[in-house]
Amino acid sequence: MSAGTDLPTLFGRFSAVLREHADLEKVVASLSELCVALEADAARVPAELSPVPLIRELSRQFVEHFATEEADAYFGAIQAEDPSLSDLIANLRHEHEQMLGSTAVLAQLAAAPESWSQFAVSARLLVVQFARHERAESGLLNRLFRPRAPRAS
């Protein structure tokens, strides 16, 4: 790891990203609730789960969160600290693009109530992808902070 003076800044960045994850997980949980509501009775979806504003909010949070993660201060710092993680970081960046693409498709489906059954199917896939992505990010951090075997002198 870097010198002690770098650690609080590095850990501070990770803490900020984790706070964003918590906010994002709330919106993704609402998306899951929306899927259940749509599958039960699309005509009785609660106003707080309205598809168009929910996807708009998810998209906004994805854009902001992914920009934070992809910045030099986060993924760049991880890569600088452990270049062997470069491929994992590249995969995470690619998944960001895929999820943003999925939200664009969901926005189109959300705008057309006759497409809400397809919306629910696609939204469930995004929820699963997001959960898998979050596990991969956790794995990245675990690899970064894993105890390293002492080097032979």
Residue 151 lies in a domain: no
Looking at residue 46, which CATH number applies to its domain?
Answer: 1.20.120
pTM equals: 0.84
* Among the listed residues 12, 106, 14, the one whose alpha carbon sits nearest the alpha carbon of residue 62: 106
At 35, is the pLDDT very low, low, confident or very high (cuts 50, 70, 90)? very high
Q: Could you tell me if residue 87 is inside a domain?
A: yes
Residue 150 within a domain: no
Q: What is the pLDDT of residue 5?
A: 43
CA 69-73-74 angle, to 5 degrees, is 35
Give exposure, 15-51, as e/b (b: 16+ Cβ within 10 Å): eebeeeeeebeebbeebeebbebbeeeeeebeeebeb
How many domains does the chain divide into?
A: 1
Please report whether residue 2 resides in a domain: no
How far is 12 from 2, CA to CA, in rounded Å?
Answer: 14
CB-based contact 31:116 (threshold 8 Å)? no
Q: Is the pLDDT of residue 70 over 70?
A: yes
Residue 118 belongs to what domain range? 7-145
pLDDT band for 9, please (50, 70, 90 cuts). low
- At residue 115, the 3 state secondary structure works out as helix
For residue 153, being part of any structural domain is answered with no
Residue 2: its H or E element: none
Higher pLDDT, 102 or 17: 102
